[in-house]
Chains A and B, each alone.
Chain A
């Protein structure tokens, strides 16, 4: 029932057909990275090659602390890679850009701003808030929080705060959504609910997604392709394609996990 096939070069994603003009292709080629620690150089990424097709949902799975999050920071442009190149639609990534938005494990909402003002952050930073106010309301609507526009972050539950963080990302119309364990701190019921919401947001908006998680089930439930990393320094061990239709169900008779590896 599950067909899983990973080859190099990897085939284009099959379904759903989200390869929209609003999605980016990301190419990571031979990237290595490390930090200077007091005890010497700490290598966290070793010769990583990764390709995200436009509109593809890719999950990075690996033990915690292996360097997956560092890879996300490099793709976001928050830090330059020590070696190798990362390109977005053929252009090298040198600094952060609103077309690649990160959602962190913590919602990191600004506590001094209301929900509405938090969501408006990106538009304000780009200086287009005055003309584009309706986008803020639309983004709040997408995550079902239009009734909480005037609330402050401390008045929200964990799941609501993470939804606001999602809206804050979506308002920028990102071509790549970078999710760094965005559901890691939520209770299990909220997490399941948010996973389904993530899938439908991705299907509606058609951006590419790069998700870091250490939850195998989450990766299998959400992603079209799961890339598995080794412990630090992180190398790609293998990739699994999950060619199951969305929406997926946890109680499918044969779980995607029985797909073959290459």
Chain B
């Protein structure tokens, strides 16, 4: 059966290859630490003997965050020709609070409380990252606010990001909401139309004859190149952007859905037909489920290009959204706000991709050796 299982799932390794190129893994230092730490952390909850490694890393994390707090609070900011950077004290206090929390967690490794033990297990996994992120923040703070090696206003210290979020959260939230709305509208249209087109050209020779050449000819054109024309043709810049985002998403979804349908093992159709399956059954119960792994690769690629089109469209013509916020912040030379918006964007886009992968893992539980995001 093993050979036939491989044949049956032939498109999968291909998909795995495509996705793994984009696979983001924590650096090996992190995973190596997990391997070493986890057994001891589990041993700590099982046996009275306290574990040693979590202690060490926990105190290292506490020390790193303590260092960040100390240098933020005690090292005066370099005067930058305007009012002092806001929220320096608050940033330092927050870092100090985090340092105390880590210290307490590290002290409690031998605790019997299950909640603490669980917090510790999570902490052990991410401990190296927690140490390093404190050090990165400290370096960033030194290079900007403390020494001015990276000059204002183009560079801003991490503490000033709090300023941007605290004072401009309304505009940022509004921009985020508008971006998400526009993106989802375009992506849903693109995915739906791309999927339908992919299934149709995979199934029907006649449709394939007419649509496939168009897809081959027009598909590779970057949708951003159509921006000026689209803004002219469509009644609103919103409609134009939805169209272009849908185009960006739809092309890869259509191509990969088609290749998924074309790659379905023909024997599956024979099996279903001998059991009395109708054409409808062959499409919806055989072709589509068999093509789904490929469809998800298409969606992943489509998401990526939809983000590009979204930001460019908002920078060029749409009067709201995160892309618009970037150009707006640039106009006021308010680079702190720009960094703040970039961080929001990163969080949203990576969450959307994570969500897509979570859905895929759910839908494709039957796959062996699924690629982790």
Cβ of A161 and Cβ of B4 under 8 Å apart?
yes
Closest CB of chain B to A200's CB: distance in Å?
A: 22
Binds A, one of B210-218, B283-291, B296-304: B283-291
**Residues of A close to B368: CB separation below 8 A:** 154
Known: A98-B274, A102-B274, A125-B276. A108 touches B4 (CB 8 A): yes
- A126 is an interface residue with CB less than 8 A from chain B: yes
Can you name the residue of chain B whose Cβ is closest to the Cβ of A159? B1
Known: A108-B268, A124-B285. A100 touches B274 (CB 8 A): yes
Closest CB of chain A to B296's CB: distance in Å?
A: 13
Can you name the residue of chain B whose Cβ is closest to the Cβ of A101? B274
CA separation between A108 and B271, bound complex, in Å?
Answer: 8
Interface residues of B in 5-48 (CB under 8 A from A): 5, 7-9
**Residues of B close to A156: CB separation below 8 A:** 1
Known: A98-B276, A124-B285. A108 touches B267 (CB 8 A): yes
Known: A98-B276, A160-B1. A104 touches B366 (CB 8 A): no
- A153 is an interface residue with CB less than 8 A from chain B: yes
0/1 string, A151-172, CB within 8 A of B gives 1: 0111011111110000010001
Cβ of B8 and Cβ of A153 under 8 Å apart?
yes
Cβ of A108 and Cβ of B1 under 8 Å apart?
no
- B170 is an interface residue with CB less than 8 A from chain A: no
0/1 string, A85-118, CB within 8 A of B gives 1: 0000000000011101110101111111110000
- B292 is an interface residue with CB less than 8 A from chain A: yes
CA separation between A118 and B7, bound complex, in Å?
Answer: 17
Known: A78-B270, A106-B267, A124-B285. A111 touches B275 (CB 8 A): no
CA separation between A125 and B286, bound complex, in Å?
Answer: 11
Closest CB of chain B to A208's CB: distance in Å?
A: 15
CA separation between A111 and B268, bound complex, in Å?
Answer: 10
Count of chain A residues with Cβ under 8 Å from any Cβ of B? 37
- A249 is an interface residue with CB less than 8 A from chain B: no
- A122 is an interface residue with CB less than 8 A from chain B: yes
Cβ of B1 and Cβ of A161 under 8 Å apart?
yes
Cβ of A125 and Cβ of B1 under 8 Å apart?
no
Q: Of the candidates A113, A114, A125, A153, which one forms a contact with B5 in the assembled complex, judged by CB atoms under 8 Å apart? A: A153
Known: A108-B267, A112-B292. A162 touches B1 (CB 8 A): yes
Known: A108-B267, A112-B289, A112-B366. A78 touches B4 (CB 8 A): no
- B278 is an interface residue with CB less than 8 A from chain A: yes
**Residues of A close to B350: CB separation below 8 A:** none
**Residues of B close to A162: CB separation below 8 A:** 1
Cβ of A125 and Cβ of B270 under 8 Å apart?
no
**Residues of B close to A45: CB separation below 8 A:** none
**Residues of B close to A133: CB separation below 8 A:** none
Q: A106-B7, A107-B4 are in contact. List 11 more A-B contacts (CB 8 A).
A: A77-B274, A96-B275, A102-B270, A104-B271, A106-B4, A108-B265, A121-B275, A125-B277, A152-B365, A152-B366, A185-B3
User: Could you list some 21 contacts between A and B, CB below 8 A?
Assistant: A96-B273, A98-B274, A101-B274, A104-B270, A107-B4, A108-B4, A111-B9, A112-B289, A112-B290, A114-B366, A121-B271, A124-B281, A125-B275, A125-B276, A152-B365, A154-B366, A156-B1, A157-B1, A159-B1, A161-B1, A162-B1
